[in-house]
Amino acid sequence: MKYTKLGKSDLTVSRICMGCMGFGNAAAGQHHWTLDEAQTREIIRHGLELGINFYDTAIAYQSGTSEQFVGRALRDFAKRDDFVIATKFTPRTQDEIEAGVSGQKHIENYLNQSLKNLGLDYVDLYICHMWDYHTPMEEIMEGLHNAVKAGKARYVGISNCFTWQLAKTNFYARENGLTEFVSIQGHYNLIAREEEREMAPFCADQNIAMTPYSSLASGRLSRRPGETSRRLEQDAYAKFKYDATAEADNKIIARVAELADRRGVSMTEISLAWLLTKVTAPIVGATKFSHVEGAVHAVDLELTQDEIDYLEELYVPHALVGVMAQNGRQRAGNVV
Ligand SMILES: NC(=O)c1ccc[n+]([C@@H]2O[C@H](COP(=O)([O-])OP(=O)(O)OC[C@H]3O[C@@H](n4cnc5c(N)ncnc54)[C@H](OP(=O)(O)O)[C@@H]3O)[C@@H](O)[C@H]2O)c1
268-302 per-position pLDDT tens digit: 999 999 999 999 999 999 999 999 999 999 999 99
Which atom of ligand 1 is nearest to 235's Cα?
A: 40
What's the rounded mean pLDDT across residues 45-58? Answer: 98
CA 154: distance to chain centroid? 18
Q: How many domains does the chain have?
A: 1
**Residue of 3, 55, 61, 110 marked active site:** 61
Q: Is the pLDDT of residue 196 over 50?
A: yes
Q: What is the pLDDT of residue 331?
A: 86
Whole-model pTM: value is: 0.97
Q: Which residue's CA is the nearest one to ligand 1's atom 45?
A: 19
- Compute CA distances 63 → 27, 37, 60, 95, 324, whole Å: 10, 14, 5, 17, 22
Residue 284 belongs to a domain: yes
Give residue 336's pLDDT band: very low, low, confident or very high (50, 70, 90). very low
Q: What is the pLDDT of residue 89?
A: 98
How many A from CA of 272 to the centre of ligand 1? 12
**Percent of the chain at pLDDT exceeding 90:** 89
How many A from CA of 128 to the centre of ligand 1? 20
Residue 61 belongs to a domain: yes
Q: What is the pLDDT of residue 199?
A: 98
The three-state secondary structure class of 279 is coil
Q: What are phi and psi of 216, to 5 degrees?
A: -110, 20
Is 122 an active-site residue? Answer: no
Residue 178 belongs to a domain: yes
More confident: 329 or 78: 78
Residue 87 belongs to a domain: yes
Q: Which ranges in the chain belong to alpha helices (H)?
A: 37-49, 65-77, 94-98, 103-118, 137-149, 163-175, 199-206, 230-234, 236-243, 246-263, 267-276, 289-298, 305-312, 322-331
How many A from CA of 22 to the centre of ligand 1? 8
CA 294: distance to chain centroid? 18
The three-state secondary structure class of 61 is helix
How many A from CA of 21 to the centre of ligand 1? 8
Q: Are 22 and 266 in contact (CB under 8 A)?
A: no
What span, in angstroms and rounded, lies between the C-alpha atoms of 123 and 161? 21
Q: Are 103 and 132 in contact (CB under 8 A)?
A: yes
Residue 73 belongs to a domain: yes
Q: Which of 139-143, 155-159, 164-168, 224-228 has the least mean pLDDT? A: 224-228
Q: Is the pLDDT of residue 333 over 90?
A: no
What span, in angstroms and rounded, lies between the C-alpha atoms of 201 and 4? 19
Q: Is the pLDDT of residue 335 over 60?
A: no
- Compute CA distances 94 → 140, 261, 332, whole Å: 16, 51, 20
Domain extent at residue 181: 3-331
Q: What are phi and psi of 235, to 5 degrees?
A: -90, 80
What's the rounded mean pLDDT across residues 215-220? Answer: 95
What's the rounded mean pLDDT across residues 35-40? Answer: 97
Q: Is the pLDDT of residue 236 over 90?
A: no
What's the rounded mean pLDDT across residues 207-235? Answer: 89
Q: Which residue's CA is the nearest one to ligand 1's atom 26?
A: 219
What span, in angstroms and rounded, lies between the C-alpha atoms of 82 and 12? 10
Residue 187 belongs to a domain: yes
Q: What are phi and psi of 108, to 5 degrees?
A: -60, -45
What's the rounded mean pLDDT across residues 108-136? Answer: 98
Residues having CB within 6 Å of any atom of ligand 1: 19-22, 56, 129, 159-160, 185, 213-219, 222, 229, 231-232, 238, 266, 268, 283-287, 290-291, 294-295, 323
Q: Is the pLDDT of residue 206 over 50?
A: yes
Contacts of 3 by beta carbon, 8 Å cutoff, 6+ apart: 12, 13, 14, 15, 53
What's the rounded mean pLDDT across residues 159-164? Answer: 97
Residue 88 belongs to a domain: yes
**Percent of the chain at pLDDT exceeding 70:** 99
Q: Which residue's CA is the nearest one to ligand 1's atom 21?
A: 218
Q: Nearest Cα to 68, choosing from 35, 115, 129?
A: 115
Q: Is the pLDDT of residue 334 over 80?
A: no
Q: What is the DSSP letter of 237?
A: H
How many A from CA of 218 to the centre of ligand 1? 4
Q: Which residue's CA is the nearest one to ligand 1's atom 34?
A: 222
Residue 336 belongs to a domain: no
Q: Which residue's CA is the nearest one to ligand 1's atom 41?
A: 229
- Domain CATH number, residue 74: 3.20.20.100
